[in-house]
């Protein structure tokens, strides 16, 4: 289907959706923000508590190192927890959690706050101080958000590493962050099996002697080695008298921070083998995340919100942990696989907990769609009011299925485009807007996005180009941790004054954006972001491999699947068995999500004269497409 045909298919919101929308007019809000960007964001910031007000909303005196709400004092945890305790929300459920094995745990705002305070004391007693980095590598258990919030409460910087990553990926991230304390679980449940988190952590730490302490939350109860003097059980530390400080004791106080003090870093894959640590701060992130969640997903006090991402990715940081708590909402979190033990697991939980808003990745929808409509049709999904997607383009077929079968044609779908770097939704519908399946629609008020050509000039409607952002926004990344040059070079050098997203897109005649995909060496597999260079370096770490190139090729469920081309060392014979060994090797080094779908042994790789692998050419060949400009090709 071409763009023009796609644009013809329009879904209008019902009168009911419009009547209850938190934002009644996109145009009005967008015009306000365009007229007065700082005034607009200042007004949004009024929803939150500041210990001291800002002098300036946006300080752009040192571009592209923008600063927001300078001079203000705050702490995101005060806004997420403390301030709700003096209201009726103290008794409201903050978090409902279901384990893969059916375990159920709930936390009121009071209870969550208490756990966070106790764990903050544990961290303080271990010597963690403001500005220190703490690596968190856990399964999807309530203790993961508790650990994050406890770090933020005392001004430490958390670095969460996705629990599906493995030894090499974890090791590199611990090293780069220079963490002294790590937090993990004995294991986590996934698809009825145990993921050996603690053992992976132990392996990763063999080469990281700077880590002094490891705190281990007991989830599975299976036997894991504990190193005397380094490893401690979470529950034992929490039972120590120091953590029973009376309420109001100084030891529980939320650290008063600068709006620009760092909140967390989150590693994401880029164009080199070394993942980059995206740095976010307390003040602007609070305002950006809280504002977008309220406007886009229209959360109401009575709502139960379910963001089915993993807290280990930006989606989980912004919209499982911080966003819902900022709004005083009730958030649901599920530990395991969507199809365990049967493909109705998600739908049974929507029914059981009365979920009102569901936000997930297109890959999950495509995966569940394959099992047929009978599974969701067995359940009462009438509590749902709004749906959402994120992480990759959603194909119109999956969009329509989600709309018809899950939303029963009542629930608008918010297709939100954003990135680890942006921290918040950037191109997204609001519930009152007309929708076109497959389009993330229009920039959030205050955001100016455009599609430009190689020279940075806007392209005509319907034409493909590079997606750029032309205004700063409060939840934007501030830098790459310990690598400000790379921050400038990566995001602000291609076009002066514009943020380069790394995505290609089209804008149609109505100003709706259609995201096409990455134009750099990043592959989106099932919505997860992986760098080709990371996969390649995992491959060449195997003794049989001389050289490797990884590309993404279209895949029906995953969006993209990894295909690797491998040159073997002299004396090595290509075989199916060796291909399987190499796949398993990448899985072991980086994690199951990075495991290549297919490995092809080749005698040579297309390269530029300077020796850079031309992945673009490999992709074109695999897809039978023209190879494009190959003047620099030397095979
Ligand atoms: C892609 C995830 C199409 C895009 C929040 C972006 C999307 C990258 C969408 C960032 C969407 C995210 N439609 N593509 N709605 N949302 N993407 O950092 O390529 O894991 O640049 O952040 O995901 O991935 P990240």
Residue 249 has a pLDDT of: 46
Residue 246 has a pLDDT of: 46
392 alpha carbon – ligand 1 mean position (Å): 5
Mean pLDDT in consecutive groups of 10 residues from the start of the chain, 635 residues:
61 96 97 98 98 98 98 98 97 98 98 94 92 98 98 98 93 94 98 97 91 97 97 93 51 87 93 85 98 97 96 96 98 97 98 98 96 97 98 96 98 98 98 97 98 97 97 98 96 96 96 94 91 92 96 94 96 97 95 95 91 89 86 74
Give the distance from CA 363 to its chain's centroid: 14
Distance CA 166, CA 256 (A): 35
DSSP for 134-165, please give it. EEEE--SSTHHHHHHHHHHHTT-EEEE--TT-
Determine which residue's CA is closest to atom 6 belonging to ligand 1.
Answer: 419
Distance CA 441, CA 415 (A): 8
Pocket test for ligand 1, best of 417, 513, 534 (most atoms within 8 A of CB): 417
Residues framing ligand 1 (Cβ under 6 A)? 268, 313-315, 390-393, 415-420, 440, 501-503, 515, 517-518, 524, 529
Pocket test for ligand 1, best of 264, 320, 390, 469 (most atoms within 8 A of CB): 390
Residue 429 has a pLDDT of: 98
Q: Listing from the earlier edge strand, what are the strands of the sheet with 449-452?
A: 449-452, 464-469, 499-507, 513-518
Q: Which atom of ligand 1 is found nearest the CA of 440? A: 15
Question: Could you give the angle at which helices 37-45 and 282-297 cross, rounded to 10 degrees?
Answer: 90
What the block records as the tokens of 293 is: 């969640």
Distance CA 318, CA 423 (A): 7
What the block records as the tokens of 223 is: 């036997």
Residue 631 has a pLDDT of: 74
Place of tokens 């050996």: 196
């Amino acid at each position: 289907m071409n763009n023009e045909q796609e644009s013809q298919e329009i879904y209008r919101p019902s009168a009911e959706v419009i009547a209850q929308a938190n934002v009644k007019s996109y145009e009005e809000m967008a015009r306000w923000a365009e007229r007065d960007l700082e005034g607009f964001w200042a007004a949004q910031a009024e929803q939150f508590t500041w210990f001291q007000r800002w002098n300036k909303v946006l300080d752009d005196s040192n571009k592209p190192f923008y600063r927001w709400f300078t001079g203000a004092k705050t702490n995101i945890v005060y806004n997420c927890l403390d301030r709700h305790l003096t209201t009726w929300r103290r008794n409201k459920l903050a978090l409902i959690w279901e384990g893969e094995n059916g375990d159920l745990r709930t936390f009121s705002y009071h209870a969550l706050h208490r756990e966070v305070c106790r764990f903050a004391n544990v961290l303080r007693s271990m010597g963690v101080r403001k500005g220190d980095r703490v690596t968190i590598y856990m399964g999807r258990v309530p203790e993961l958000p508790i650990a994050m919030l406890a770090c933020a409460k005392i001004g430490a910087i958390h670095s969460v590493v996705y629990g599906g990553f493995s030894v090499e990926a974890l090791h590199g991230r611990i090293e780069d962050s220079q963490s002294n304390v790590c937090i993990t679980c004995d294991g986590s449940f996934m698809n009825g099996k145990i993921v050996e988190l603690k053992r992976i952590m132990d392996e990763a730490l063999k080469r990281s002697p700077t880590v002094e302490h490891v705190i281990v939350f007991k989830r599975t109860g299976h036997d894991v080695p504990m190193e005397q003097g380094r490893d401690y059980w979470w529950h034992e530390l929490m039972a120590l008298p120091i953590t029973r400080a009376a309420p109001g004791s100084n030891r529980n106080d939320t650290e008063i921070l600068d709006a620009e003090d760092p909140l967390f870093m989150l590693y994401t894959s880029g164009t080199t083998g070394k993942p980059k640590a995206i740095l976010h701060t307390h003040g602007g992130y609070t305002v950006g995340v809280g504002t977008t969640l309220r406007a886009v997903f229209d959360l109401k006090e009575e709502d139960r919100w379910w963001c089915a991402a993993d807290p280990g990715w930006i989606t989980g940081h912004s919209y499982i942990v911080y966003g819902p708590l900022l709004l005083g909402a009730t958030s649901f979190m599920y530990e395991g696989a969507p199809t365990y033990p049967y493909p109705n697991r998600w739908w049974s939980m929507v029914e059981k907990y009365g979920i009102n808003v569901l936000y997930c990745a297109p890959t999950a929808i495509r995966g569940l769609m394959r099992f047929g409509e009978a599974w969701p049709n067995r359940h009462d999904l009438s509590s749902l009011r709004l749906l959402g997607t994120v992480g990759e383009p959603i194909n119109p077929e999956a969009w329509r299925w989600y709309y018809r079968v899950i939303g029963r044609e009542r629930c608008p779908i918010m297709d939100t485009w954003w990135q680890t770097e942006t921290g918040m939704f950037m191109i997204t519908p609001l519930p009152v807007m007309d929708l076109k399946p497959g389009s993330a629609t229009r920039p959030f008020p205050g955001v100016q996005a455009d599609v430009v050509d190689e020279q940075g000039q806007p392209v005509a409607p319907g034409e493909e180009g590079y997606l750029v952002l032309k205004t700063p926004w409060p939840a934007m990344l501030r830098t790459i941790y310990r690598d400000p040059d790379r921050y400038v070079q990566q995001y602000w050098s291609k076009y002066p004054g514009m943020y380069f997203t790394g995505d290609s897109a089209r804008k149609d005649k109505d100003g709706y954006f259609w995201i096409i995909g990455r134009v750099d060496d990043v592959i989106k597999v099932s919505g997860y972001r992986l760098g080709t260079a990371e996969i390649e370096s995992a491959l060449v770490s195997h003794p049989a491999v001389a050289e490797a190139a990884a590309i993404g090729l279209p895949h029906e469920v995953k969006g993209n699947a990894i295909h690797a081309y491998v040159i073997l060392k002299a004396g090595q014979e290509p075989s199916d068995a060796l291909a399987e060994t190499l796949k398993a090797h990448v899985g072991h080094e980086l994690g199951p999500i990075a495991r290549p779908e297919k490995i092809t042994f080749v005698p040579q790789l297309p390269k530029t004269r300077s020796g850079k692998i031309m992945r673009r050419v490999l992709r074109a060949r695999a897809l039978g497409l023209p190879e494009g400009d190959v003047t620099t090709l030397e095979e």
